[in-house]
Amino acid sequence: MSPNSSKKNLSKHTDGKDEYFIARALNLAKKGQGLTSPNPAVGAVVVKNGIIVGEGFHEKAGQPHAEVIALNNAGKDAEGATIYVTLEPCSHFGKTPPCVHKIKESGIKRVVSAIKDPNPLVSGKGLEYLINNGIEVKDGVLSKEANRINEIFFKYITTGMPFITVKEAVTLDGNLGYKTDTEKVYLSSPKSLEYTHYTRFINDAVMISAKTLIKDDSSLDVRINKSNMKEKFLKKRWTKIVLDSYLNTPPSSKIFESHGDVLIFASNDYDKAKVERKKHLEEKGAIITDVYYNIKEGKKLLNLEYVFKKCGELKITGILVEAGPELFSSLIKERFCDKIIFNFTPYFLGRKNGLDLFGRLNLEFKEKINFSGLSIKKIKDDAFLSYYPEFT
């Protein structure tokens, strides 16, 4: 957005409520979701006498922050104005200079932020700098909404572990599809698939098991043409993660043809045949990481804690897991789920032919898991229910 285009589209809000302008900044921040990793998605609005004189959002890591864009758009009108930001302005040098310096130099008299930055390099220090330089500060406006927008960044910056979203498309009777599909069957509507691909887009990676990969042969990419999403996707860092103890991933899989890295986690035991399979996969470009495993019910199950720690070390901040019954059960029982999304589709398949998502999730009575924070998105006869688990 150029300074001139910003001034041409001035909008006025007569009651001057801080919530209104923070809400506008949050909507701007959403435009950067999926593109700013490992940075947060941030929006900023500069307001003078109830009129917006500049605004912007962080578009990509390494590029100017939202505050800088908004202040540049405001120009001299920033003098004596209020800037609304969705996250505490940074006070440290990274790839770009501290935003608090730019705010001070622009003559801003008041800063309203939605939430403090949990990054230890920033947390509280940005607001403290502003206060010490005579700038009025207000914090915590629409903080809950701001937290949701950056839930991936907040977990990663405080723990070094990725935010894990488990997403399942299920029938009303809890089936993922047919047990013996000879070809891929989509239960979700085309519009629902579009939303699923958007959910992929706002993460850094998608994860599946080798069993699911072999069954579906998905390309694990993002296929949305709306809002230049496909073009943006091809410019972002993207990782396709396969949990494959035995390295049974076929070298002919579509994941080797689509955008992004292929990261395969395998068990750390090898025989001659497995060594040969590894060689073929690496020739296709796969990055293979060996993992210790546990044997459960006669199967080698990878150490998920190590898997996710390794992903964090690779600066993969958010992972969307599209799990089959076995992986779903492991993620829930081992508490590796920060958010769960059910795409309920309007079908019954029954137990005879249906692939039951919950069949392997055997919980003891005292293992009951509560969920909270429900949000609902309806797309025709499909419904997306999002929850946050309350693990004890």
Q: Which residue do the tokens 């307001």 mark?
A: 47
Residue 208: CB atoms within 10 A of its CB come to: 24
User: How many whole angstroms separate alpha carbon 207 and alpha carbon 242?
Assistant: 6
End-to-end distance of the chain based on CA atoms, in angstroms? 46
Contact 61, 95 (CB under 8 A): yes
Closest CA to 61 of 100, 83, 34: 34
User: How many whole angstroms separate alpha carbon 391 and alpha carbon 249?
Assistant: 33
Looking at residue 114, the DSSP 8-state letter turns out to be S
Q: List the structure tokens of 46.
A: 């500069």
User: How many whole angstroms separate alpha carbon 41 and alpha carbon 65?
Assistant: 9
Q: List the structure tokens of 374.
A: 């429900």
Q: List the structure tokens of 45.
A: 């609005």
User: How many whole angstroms separate alpha carbon 103 and alpha carbon 109?
Assistant: 9
Contact 311, 241 (CB under 8 A): yes
Classified as helix, coil or strand, 345 is strand
**Catalytic machinery residues:** 67
User: How many whole angstroms separate alpha carbon 153 and alpha carbon 159?
Assistant: 10
Closest CA to 194 of 386, 377, 27: 377
Instruction: Map 23-87 to HEC letters.
Output: HHHHHHHHCCCCCCCCCCCCEEEEEECCEEEEEEECCCCCCCCHHHHHHHHHHHHHCCCEEEECC
Residue 304: CB atoms within 10 A of its CB come to: 19
- Element of type H or E holding 113: strand 110-113
